[in-house]
Amino acid sequence: MSVLSSRTLVAAALLFSAGTAYAAPDKSEPVGPTMGDIVRQASQPAPTAAAPLPAATNLPTMGDIVKQTEAQAKAAQRAAPEGCTRPKLPGDVPDGTKATEEEIRQAQLRVKAYVSESEEFNRCLDKLVQANYSRLSVHEYLSLTAQHDLTISAMQLFAERFNVQLRAFKARNNGAAPAAKP
């Protein structure tokens, strides 16, 4: 009997203690949506569109996209972070329908050099971020990331411009690529 009464006393002490486990339920209204509200919203079917969307009439043209990409490439030419050398832009690509073989070859060398220097610049940015990650502010990190992305965009832009002119050169010369110099 003494064991039963000590268990009863412990249970009673726990029941009437001021612990949070047995506190009176909070009757105040929740501040935001409750888990029940969220679950009910998730279980509802998504509303269907009332009508199809009208055809877009203000889509950017290829000219708009090229202008935007050129502006991004120029923005990427801002001052490079300390220790990283930003590559020089390769210059204009000659018109493949009029260019000589030598002009196409020189443009190819400039674009290849630009791509190589850009890749080195991006590796330098990556190392800079990794070495200083814990000290970089969000603004500095986003700035370095934007420079990295803009450099990639510029590489792609200049490589594509060269490839378009190279295809035009090949078409003019019955598919013959510029011969490599010995």
Which mean pLDDT values do the consecutive 10-residue runs of the chain (182 residues) have? 53 49 53 67 69 62 70 56 82 89 93 94 89 83 87 91 91 72 52
For residue 166, give the nearest of 94, 89, 92, 90 by alpha carbon: 94
Residue 129 in any domain: the answer is yes
The answer to whether position 121 is within a domain reads: yes
The DSSP-derived string for 65-121 is HHHHHHHHHHHTTSPPPTT--PPPP--PPPPTTT--HHHHHHHHHHHHHHHHHHHHH
3-state secondary structure at position 19: coil
CA distance linking residue 164 with residue 182, whole number of Å: 25
Residue 131 lies in a domain: yes
Nearest to 100 by CA among 169, 182, 175: 169
For residue 125, is it within any domain?
yes
Range of the domain at 130: 104-175
Residue 134 lies in a domain: yes
Nearest Cα to Cα of residue 89 among 154, 152, 41, 180: 154
Find out whether 74 and 154 touch, Cβ atoms under 8 Å.
no
Q: Looking at the domain assignment, is residue 60 inside a domain?
A: no
d(C-alpha 172, C-alpha 175), whole Å:
7
Q: Please state the pTM of the whole predicted model.
A: 0.53
Residue 170 lies in a domain: yes
175: left (phi over 0), alpha (psi -120 to 50) or beta: left
**Dist CA 112 CA 24 (whole Å):** 74
Residue position matching structure tokens 């801002």: 78
According to the model, what pLDDT value does residue 109 have?
94
| Confidence (pLDDT) at 142 | 86
Number of domains within the chain: 1
In a domain, 31, yes or no: no
